[in-house]
Amino acid sequence: MEEYGKILIITMPIFLTLIIIEKIYGIYTKQDTAPLIDSVSSISSGITNSVKDVLGLSLTFLSYEWMVSKIALQHLEANVLSYFIAFFVIDFYGYWSHRLAHQINFLWNKHAIHHSSEEFNLACALRQPVASLVNLFTFLLIPAALLGVPASVIAITLPIHLFLQFWYHTKHIKKMGFVEKILVTPSHHRVHHAINPEYLDKNHAQIFIFWDKLFGTFQEELDDVPPVFGITRPVNTWNPIRINFQHLTLLIKDAWRAPKWKDKLTIWFKPTGWRPENFEKLYPVNKIENVFNFDKYGTQNSQKLIYWSVAQVLITLLFVSYLFDNIAKIGLPNIFIYGLFIFTTIYSYTELMDKSKYAFLWEGLRFTIGIGIMTYYGDWFDLNHVFSFSNYIIFTYFSLSFLASIYFIAIDFKINQNQPITS
């Protein structure tokens, strides 16, 4: 946990800087692909995922270390060769776990968050799942285990492999010539994120595009078919925690309502989107029929709400950075209390972004948790030893945040209810 937290301390400002550069470039070229409120939702999703990972809130039924101890035909040292093998096998593992997430109903729940943005930009790369609480695909690393690649090499290579998937989430880089034949490029990944019928469930590869060509899932970006992004059942919320469990909620409801036991049991393993017979009529859900004719979610917002949301996510990043940099000092079980505060924070301000009239209740809960922590411990997890006025600053922030939520619900949302101010 502590090592991964340190890695994230380094990578977070790099990703944030690149997101800002993309935004500035888009404004400069008059091709802005990153609405601020969408980016806030994406970054918030990345925060929930990283906090979940750092807190170790996941379960692996079959560990790679156990596989190596049981089936390795030899044992490699941690050298250039073992890292190369690890990277290659992880990419194979990534292709199949990714493809299955698109093809099996219950697996789609953990991946839908990544596709939920109706934009395509660097920030949406951070839309990663908090719902992926169980790792089912460790067995796909068997080739590396047979060759005896050390578990430490896999542990280091996995986050590197993940971080290398960040750069190709952009509309600003066009086709890249010869590179297109070997690596996943922005063009390839635009196809993957598109909901056009021509593009659905294509280009699952993560680094090497030849997996798609080898297994029959490759699709080139067509000049006459501009990609349209999102998911065919739009989430209609900026709240990443709610997005994470939307599909699962629908599956549970459909399984409960299904009259046939066969449907109750098999719905989980059917192709993604499958529902029992006549359920689309009996229990309709919003679905995009024409990808070139639908309204994007949440495009009418006051500038005040947009800038307040940006401020909230930046302040949350400061709280998260302090957690990641002080995991050992904060210790157990306090890091889980801290994690609860982060999740409540994100739920609160993204509910406000959704213009929910109940957002102030979530903000009140966050205020209570935050003040409770400071009252019980005397300060914010020993932050006073670093910065002597921290208690006053954090208390002021909590108070202003609560008052702001009341202002937006009581005044701003009503004033701007009929004003088409875009984000």
With 70 as the cut, is the pLDDT of residue 418 above it? no
**Helices and strands, number each (H, E), in the chain:** 18, 2
Closest by CA position to 350, among listed 116, 17, 105: 116
- The pLDDT > 70 percentage for the chain reads 98
- Please report which residue ranges of 202-302 form alpha helices under DSSP H: 210-215, 240-257, 261-266, 279-282
pLDDT computed for residue 243 by the predictor: 97
Answer yes or no: are the C-beta atoms of 124 and 42 closer than 8 Å: yes
pLDDT of 423 reads: 41
Structure tokens at 306: 């947009």
- Count of other CB atoms within 10 angstroms of residue 401: 21
What is the Cα Rg of the chain in Å? 22
State how far the alpha carbon of 218 is from the alpha carbons of 190, 205, 207, in Å.
12, 9, 13
**In this predicted model, what pLDDT tens digit does every residue of 91-116 receive, in sequence order?**
999 999 999 999 999 999 999 999 99
**Segments making up each domain of the chain, as ranges:** 11-215, 303-415
Amino acid at 141: L
pLDDT digits (tens, 9 = 90+) for 323-356: 999 999 999 899 999 999 999 999 999 999 999 9
| Average pLDDT across the chain, whole number | 94
Quick check: 373 pLDDT over 80? yes
* DSSP conformation letters of 113-166: HHH--SS-SGGGGG---S---EE--GGGGHHHHHTT--HHHHHHHHHHHHHTTS
Q: Is the pLDDT of residue 421 over 70?
A: no
Q: How many residues does the chain have?
A: 423
Residue 313 pLDDT greater than 80, yes or no: yes
Mean pLDDT of 240-265: 96
Asked whether residue 6 carries a pLDDT value surpassing 90, the answer given is no
- Distance in angstroms (rounded) separating the CA atoms of residues 403 and 412: 13
Helix (H, G, I), strand (E, B) or coil at 62: coil
CA distance 110 to 172: 28
**pLDDT of 202 above 80:** yes
pLDDT higher than threshold 50 for residue 420? no
SS3 track for 127-141: CCCCCCCEECCHHHH
> How many angstroms separate the CA atoms of 166 and 153, rounded?
21
- H or E stretch covering 60: strand 59-60
CA-based nearest residue to 39, from 52, 27, 57, 51: 27
